[in-house]
């Protein structure tokens, strides 16, 4: 780790100018300091929301072993 911040890896995307203007108006007086910080926030939110929930990858054998321990410890009846 160095004292000086490393050059960040950013890329540029293009959005329609009227949309950019709308966003600039929208973020006035909020904590967002730039169009980029707003776009980053929104994209992170949307992408993480698209993650599928649940669907554990435990094998039946694994699960049985765990349940046995949970029963022995009184966590399960």
Tokens of 22: 């709308």
Least gap, CB of 5 to other proteins (angstroms): 6
Among 25, 31, 59, 61, binds other proteins (CB under 8 A): 31
Asked if residues 11 and 27 have their Cβ atoms less than 8 Å apart, the reply is no
Which positions ≥6 away from 38 have C-beta within 8 Å? Answer: 23, 26, 27, 32
Question: Which CB atom, from 9 or from 25, has the smaller least distance to other proteins?
Answer: 9
Which residues of the shown chain bind other proteins in the complex (CB under 8 A)?
1-3, 5-6, 31, 41-42, 44-45, 47-48, 51-58, 62-63, 66-67, 69-70, 73, 75-76
């Amino acid at each position: 780790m160095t004292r000086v911040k490393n050059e960040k890896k950013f890329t540029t995307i293009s959005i329609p100018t009227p949309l950019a203007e709308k966003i600039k108006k929208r973020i006035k007086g909020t904590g967002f300091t730039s169009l980029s910080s707003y776009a980053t926030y929104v994209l992170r939110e949307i992408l993480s929301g698209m993650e599928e929930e649940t669907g554990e990858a435990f094998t039946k054998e694994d699960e049985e072993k765990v349940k046995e321990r949970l029963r022995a410890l009184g966590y399960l009846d």
